[in-house]
Chains A and B, each alone.
Chain A
């Protein structure tokens, strides 16, 4: 059951066409640069503390030599019925009325309870104070807070870009045009496998793509009602029904 929320203008969401994903990792890099995500050096891999708000998971299907590599980009699913939200004791993560699952860094005390609650494992904890090499200091995005140690972070759907887009539209006294607001990952995706937009707008690209027969959401049995919709992989050598991401 989804909580009834107040009427709203926006319901931000993303459609991921797994069929188009080549696993190139451009989205991962773009996200890292846009959102001031700390560098994943060797130490972080060894201690299993890698941070990447979006990641491309790779699966092998079949047996050698008839083997296929499958890719699926995974980021915060911005669930309408998010398991991470009710467990946070300080409302550091909550659902806003634009369909976003937002993380308020100032409130976070670092219980890591939300991360345990998340079935997609897309929440990241800052075990150390993030450090960048001296040369990187001026590359940080001034629109995005640098998270200190001891707090959780995760994909925000590039909320700084959403805010800027909405503000520009309001200033010019018009509606937000579909495709005007792009997250870093959708902008970087060379095959347009990632599409970002407003589900509230019936004519938007994401709304149309969502109606595709291939659509599915991740872990639907948990009834989290994600705002990220996936479109299944089309396998030419298989019947259509069997295949998915």
Chain B
């Protein structure tokens, strides 16, 4: 039975704006520590650009390693936003309301981070401007549009633009709210940012229509972004384990799995750190866990399809790759960890209702998913390259250098840092959505029991 407490609007304003108006004590030290890690990370990247990619553990033939893995990982995380705010919005799932902004924010920041990885992993990043912007019209050399690497930045920047607009439109009513509650420079900031929001019916209508239109427009991106990322690998006939026709849907569903899990992790943190127990409730975790069980199982089916293709076709190189991936040291230990943390532990836990309603357990299980999903990408990318093909005369595996590990760690700190910085100036839970859900909620009587119900937005 869902519990639905009635929360009055004054209480909602006071609690949900605590990040801006009454900043918690832990905020400043945390941001400073993260800021130091971020600064060191940028310094490391600087060293790498200055000295060359020799500082990484990459070799021949393992030309792509931790950076591309982390790139795919962050693009995967970014699918949280579109799943929660577009698909659940269009399918009118009411429980999405408190988490829409956090999910969208995670999308924006993880995409920004993801975009940095292909840039820094290139040999001459300063020349990448060539292929993000069409270059050298004088000699008539356009970027090669047959290359998936051209479509990557196109897809990601489209997604980034759409998500940023979406985030901003949903922020407008709350910015107006903040403007009315602040003084001094903050008031000036919010006055400019709220674009003259007064909350009259016409503005509300435009804001709602804008949100719905954007979520509908962004639906194709849901399919395209990770499909294009998967083609980075799928178009390569030389690498066994990359050249697969099911990569696009496989990557997309894996991305939803990791993205939605990241939202669960973030919800638990928000509930603990800002004490939003009234707004982020166990029923939200319950709903997300139910969704995740379906997504994770679909994704697992794809994972096993990949193996079945090898066993069914009995193609020797492909069998050799799967053998390497699953049974040979050190990939075997990674593979077992990946299956256990990516599926068996979390889904096994989520099947219990008591776990779905337990915030701490949900937090840990969702963290496990993302460890597993990072390993999944690593296991797709590296063993395919490291396999002993007929013409590799240096049979060397891949050992990421300390610098690569630190940059991976940096990316985690960087996204957290950006999120915390955002939380200082803008509310993480949309106030108006929260109030709207209160207005729309109703209860109906079935026999002797009162059951919560929803008044639909449409008609």
* A residues lining the B interface (CB < 8 Å): 45, 47-50, 55, 57, 74, 83, 86-91, 107-113, 115-122, 124-129, 149-152, 218-219, 222
Contacts and interface: CB of A to CB of B under 8 A. Distances in A.
A58 B66 CA distance: 32
Interface centre among A45, A49, A89, by most B CB within 10 Å? A89
Nearest to B51: A128
B319 to A, nearest CB: 16
Nearest to B135: A90
Contact of A125 (B123, B127, B149, B392): B123
B205 interface: no
Interface of B: 51-54, 56, 58-64, 118, 121-125, 127-128, 130-131, 141, 143-144, 146-150, 232, 235-239, 242, 385, 389-394, 396
A116 B54 contact: no
Given A90-B131, A107-B130, A117-B238, 15 more contacts: A49-B54, A50-B60, A87-B146, A87-B235, A87-B236, A109-B122, A109-B130, A113-B232, A118-B238, A121-B60, A125-B53, A127-B58, A149-B54, A149-B123, A150-B52
Contacts, number: 137
Contacts of B127: 90, 108-109
Interface of B is mostly: loop
A5 to B, nearest CB: 16
Given A119-B238, A150-B52, A74 B60 contact: no
23 contacts: A48-B59, A48-B62, A49-B59, A55-B393, A57-B393, A86-B144, A87-B149, A88-B144, A89-B131, A89-B143, A89-B150, A90-B143, A91-B141, A109-B124, A109-B128, A109-B131, A111-B118, A111-B121, A128-B54, A129-B52, A150-B52, A150-B124, A152-B123
Given A91-B144, A219-B390, A111 B60 contact: no
Interface of A is mostly: loop
A77 B51 CA distance: 32
Nearest to B57: A47
Contact of A89 (B52, B61, B63, B149): B149
Contacts of B123: 108-112, 125-126, 149-152
Nearest to A87: B147
Contacts of A49: 54, 59-60
Closest 6 CB pairs of A and B: A110-B123, A150-B123, A48-B396, A119-B238, A48-B59, A112-B63
Contact of B52 (A109, A117, A128, A219): A128
Contacts of B392: 121
Interface centre among A57, A90, A110, A219, by most B CB within 10 Å? A90
Contacts of A124: 60
A117 B236 contact: yes
Given A83-B236, A88-B144, A113-B147, A127 B54 contact: yes
B64 A151 contact: no
A150 B63 CA distance: 12
Nearest to B52: A149
Contact of B147 (A89, A120, A121, A151): A89
B122 A150 contact: yes
Contacts of B56: 127
Contact of A110 (B53, B61, B150, B385): B53
Contacts of A150: 52-53, 122-124
Nearest to A77: B391
Nearest to A120: B391
B233 to A, nearest CB: 8
Given A87-B235, A109-B131, A150-B124, A119 B391 contact: yes
Nearest to A104: B141
Given A111-B149, A126-B123, A128-B54, A121 B237 contact: no
B280 to A, nearest CB: 42
Nearest to A52: B393
Given A149-B52, A150-B53, A83 B124 contact: no
Nearest to B124: A150
Nearest to A57: B393
A125 B61 CA distance: 10
B238 A222 contact: yes
B60 A218 contact: no
A121 B389 contact: yes
B189 to A, nearest CB: 39
Contacts of A218: 391
A237 B436 CA distance: 87
A230 B394 CA distance: 22
B63 A115 contact: yes
A121 B62 CA distance: 10
Given A89-B143, A111-B118, A127 B393 contact: no
Nearest to B132: A89
A89 B144 contact: yes
A64 to B, nearest CB: 21
Contact of A116 (B53, B59, B385, B390): B385
A86 B391 contact: no
Given A116-B385, A119-B238, A151 B124 contact: yes
Interface centre among B56, B61, B238, by most A CB within 10 Å? B238
A57 B144 contact: no
A115 B236 contact: no
